[in-house]
Amino acid sequence: MKLIVYQVDSFTTTLFEGNPAGVVLNADGLSEWQMQQLAREMNKSETAFIINKGGDDYDIEVRFFTPTREVPICGHATIAAHFVYALEKGIDCGIIIQKTKAGVLPVEIVNDGAGKRVVMTQAKIEYGAIIAGRQRERLLRGLNIGSADIVDDLPIQIVSTGHSKVMIPVRGKRLLDSMAIDSGLLCELSNEIGCNGYYVFTFDSQEKNILISGRMFAPAIGVDEDPVTGNANGPLGAYLTHYGKIEKSKTGYTFEIKQGEAMKRKGYMKVHVFSNDQDAELVKISGNACIAFKTEIDIC
């Protein structure tokens, strides 16, 4: 079996920046074990496996694996997978319906002047537990920061748009960039709270027209730090809307984030939040991508 494999840098138009993901274009005959082994071999935070057989309500199925386990969905690997799929199929613009472990979701291909841009509709918004008391203390120790570093008027809270993350607002970019985590403590806490990702962010982006700078840590699934994270910034959009930090809009409120500077893999993502009068209803993220390489792997 000859597999067509790409490595794609998502949320950037500059090679070797943004968030790298593996994409297996023709994964139809692979077992789950083989997918996991290939993801480990690619050794990226996620590898996407495209299964080209569609169903009544979807065009393709996409499965996502970290080096250690399968996850329901992944933002940057979705961008990478559909960038590659659109390129291979000659799709300049249009909608592709993907089946994932987080549900059946549309992905739109548009052209924004910088090439193909992939717009990912995320799954149902869910507000989880607020991290308080001793769990909060352990989280702060795991991040090596103190209570005074946390923004006063926002909670530390689990939020999901398909794959949950803990939202952690901090006071400034200097603090954000200098953080060094204790992976062991964060892994222990992940097992306790049922959430494997910690998204630390600040409004102090130090860049014009960029609302947020962030970093995302997920050592419990083998990702000490992820460069640019769709499944962190999507929930962030809902969270900021819920707590009145961005305006509610039925037609969509868009803001831009940057992430990955501390890893020297800076990338940019747009977050689009659609709301009713009470709260966010739907979140989309979008970004560009570029191909690092394409190869073939023979599976005997």
Indicate which residues carry an active-site annotation: 46
User: Which contacts (CB < 8 Å, 24+ apart) does range 51-60 have?
Assistant: 51/27, 52/26, 52/28, 53/28, 55/99, 57/97, 57/99, 57/104, 58/97, 58/98, 58/99, 58/104, 59/96, 59/97, 59/98, 60/85, 60/96, 60/97, 60/98, 60/99
DSSP code, position 223? E
List C-alpha distances in Å: 18 to 12, 59, 138, 260: 5, 27, 30, 7
For helices 230-242 and 75-89, angle between their N-to-C axes, nearest 10 degrees: 120
Give SS3 for 39.
Answer: helix
- Element holding 198 (H helix, E strand): strand 198-202
Question: Tokens in use for 45?
Answer: 């935070």
> Which residues have CB under 8 Å from 48's CB, separation 6+?
21, 22, 23, 24, 62, 63, 64, 74, 77, 78, 80, 81
- Considering Cα of 183, then 184, then 189, then 194, what sign does the dihedral take? positive
List C-alpha distances in Å: 143 to 50, 114, 168, 208, 235: 35, 36, 10, 28, 20
CB 216 within 8 A of CB 231: no
In angstroms, the CA 148 to CA 184 distance is 23
